[in-house]
Structure 1
Amino acid sequence: MADAVNALPFFYGNITREEAEDYLKKAGTTNGLYLLRQSRNYLGGFALSLLHSGRCYHYTIEREPNDTYAIVGGKSHRSPVDVIDYHVQEMDGLVCLLKKPCNRPKNMQPKVGPFEDLKEKLIREYVKQTWNLQGPALEQAIISQRPQLEKLISTTAHEKMPWFHGSITRENSEPRLQSGSRTNGKF
């Protein structure tokens, strides 16, 4: 799924809402001009940024528990690409039809989020250790199980961080916070 979306010329990756608005406005004033980006608020989700009457609108495309994708309150689809294809034909809650993709500038790759490399490393480590796989078998397992592995890693990655102390009482946590430097924001 990630490779299919990354290959889309109108997918910008992990950019902010403001960056999306800049790209859209630089590309023109066409109603229905749109781009797809990674959601920064919903794990595994996307955001559709759309220009209409000189204003940008942003719609979250959530990844649903059954591994389908939908704009909140809208029809479910097998992939983000299917969501886009549907909204080229149907407004179904959007301010206008999707009319023209705002493609990335030449030689620009989708922006990778700060945790993408970490996520990939954790997925590989997990599959190697849990399923004792290597080489082509490891790659095939990752490809076939990617959505489940991403979900698993995203919900358990914090357990491998040095700041994670597991389930401890308040009485045990306070001395740990008091030890060492007393930096604001320490947790």
Structure 2
Amino acid sequence: MTKRTQHTCYQAALPSLSRYLELDSDFLAVLSDYPSPDISPPIFRRGEKLRVISDEGGWWKAISLSTGRESYIPGICVARVYHGWLFEGLGRDKAEELLQLPDTKIGSFMIRESETKKGFYSLSVRHRQVKHYRIFRLPNNWYYISPRLTFQCLEDLVNHYSEVADGLCCVLTTPCLTQTAAAPAVRDSDSPVTLRQKTFDWRRAIRQQEDSEGAESPIAVDESLFSYGLRESIASYLSLTGDDSTSFDRKKKSVSLMYSGSKRKSSFFSSPPYFED
């Protein structure tokens, strides 16, 4: 088994940082501005990614991957990050602070050690708010969030939920602090001017359909405002919804389509029991 697999699966105690911060995706994450702004202008800011230069016994000599500044920072002000998403040395509150930084995308995530259940891990995901899911560990060192689906290592778990939400609040998109600067929008001086047309009123069209007998089209009054293709699309929509609109029960519970673990087929079943951490 390679070093990468050993570390990802956490089948043994974590080795020293200096031995494993070798991959490009390994770094230190700054948890709070250092020094504090009321003492002096910060050298490193919260959310900044650092590359370790040396271990100075409770302090790290590091260089910023964004600014190139080199300095010392105490160990309590940073979290160690492996493979870009496995955070060691931070709790729930700090995880939420990092996931709520500006430019953080929906679906940004991290895996961290659980504060409430020793020996377990938590998956923290940014959605409308930050959601936390407990990751359980079986005696054979396999992992799961829902007991119906287990993974040999954390990397397999991340890969699966990066393809399908499968009961989570959303699909995992990018590891926390993986921020890409958006390219500035280039305005085309020769782009055509778009004129805003009158908004189509579906309710009015349906009423006209019910009130006008023998009319060829439910939107005949406003046909001049729409292209032939759009009129055909609207007519098809009305023909499909007209008969069933009165009998639709808004209180009827919907059945959700959930991923069954196979990429080739899906099945209907109730949502898996996920435990929020």
Q: TM-score, normalised by structure 2?
A: 0.34
Higher strand proportion: 2
Larger RCO, structures 1/2 (Cα 8 Å, 6+ apart): 1
Greater helix fraction, Structure 1 or Structure 2: 1
Based on CA coordinates, which of the two structures has the bigger radius of gyration? Answer: 2
